[in-house]
Amino acid sequence: MKTAHDRKKKAKINSLLFGAVSIGLYAAVFKFADPMVTLYSKGGAYCLLPVSTVFLFSYVHGNFASNVWTALGIEASASAERKKDAKEATKRKDTRSRATVNA
């Protein structure tokens, strides 16, 4: 099991990586803001452009934000993690043999 220190260390590296990509993406958007706004507002099949763009940003920027909170030590309550582990631990495959009727 990873300690809080290990998680923080990993999160710091990840936040730097995702942060750099996120900043790059935002810089690109604002550098090419005018052509982007024009292209994205064409409508019709172009409606997929804003949708796919926000999916990309939510992955990159979402991971950046998540790692920043972890790196700062802001994580879910330990009791929430315990509850979840307990829930998962209770899930057991029923492998008992059963009587079946073959026609």
Partner 1 sequence: MHDVLLDGSRFVDLSLTGVLFMFFVGFVGGLVSGFIGSGGAFVLTPGMMSLGVPGPVAVASNMCHKFPKALVGALKRYKYGQVDIKMGLIIGISAEVGVQIGIQVQKFILEMWGAAGSNLYVSLAFVFVLVTVGSFVMKDAIATKRNGGEEKVTDLAKKLQSIELWPMMTFKGSNIRISFWFTAPVGLAAGLLAATIAVGGFAGVPGMIYIIGMSSLMASATELVVAFVMGLGGTLIWAFYGMVDIRLTLIILAGSLFGVQLGAIGTTYVKDYVIKYVMATIMLIVAFSRGLAIPKYLKQLEVLNWDAGLISSMSKTSFGLMCFALGVGAFIILKSMIMGRRQERKMAMAAGSNV
CB under 8 A: which stretch of 6-14, 51-59, 94-102 binds partner 1?
51-59
CA-closest candidate to residue 24, choices 58, 54, 61: 61
Is 31 a binder of partner 1 (CB under 8 A)? no
CB of 17 to partner 1, least distance (A): 16
Among 12, 17, 21, 53, binds partner 1 (CB under 8 A): 53
Q: What is the DSSP letter of 31?
A: H
- The CB-side HSE value for 84 (13 A sphere, CA atoms) comes to 6
Q: Are the C-beta atoms of residues 33 and 41 closer than 8 Å to each other?
A: no
Residue among 90 and 102 whose Cβ is closer to partner 1: 90
Is 57 a binder of partner 1 (CB under 8 A)? yes
Q: Where does residue 27 fall: left (phi above 0), alpha (psi -120 to 50 degrees), or beta otherwise?
A: alpha
Q: Give the binding site for partner 1 (CB under 8 A).
A: 26, 29-30, 33, 36-38, 40-44, 46-51, 53-55, 57-58, 61-62, 64-66, 68-69, 74-81, 83-84, 87
